[in-house]
Amino acid sequence: MTLIDLNRSVVGLIEIVSEPVLKPSKEGSSFFRELQALLRFFGISKVNRVEGQHLERDVRSRTMTRRYILERPD
């Protein structure tokens, strides 16, 4: 089952949770760039901050999970 969070502005959000195996500097940045490229390639998002679309990193040290959230413009 796929759930869609429409936020308060009726804008879809994508949340990706990865395993806690990424090193904060190089591996994390590389994963982030690759994810951004995939989102653009498959036409999911332009990931263009000027247009209000962006990726957001959320690192949780307690549970050691990383959350990547894609927001679309309002």
pLDDT tens-digit series, residues 25-63: 677 778 888 888 888 898 888 877 777 777 777 666 554
* Rg over CA atoms, the chain: 13
* pLDDT value, residue 33: 84
Q: Do 19 and 27 contact (CB within 8 A), yes or no? A: no
- Look up the domain containing 39 and give its range: 13-71
For the chain, what is the domain count?
1
Does 32 reside within a domain? yes
Does 34 reside within a domain? yes
* pLDDT value, residue 72: 57
Does 55 reside within a domain? yes
Does 37 reside within a domain? yes
* pLDDT value, residue 34: 87
Does 7 reside within a domain? no
Does 23 reside within a domain? yes
Asked whether residue 16 carries a pLDDT value surpassing 60, the answer given is yes
Lowest mean pLDDT among 12-16, 21-25, 70-74: 70-74
* pLDDT value, residue 9: 62
68 beta partners = 16, 57
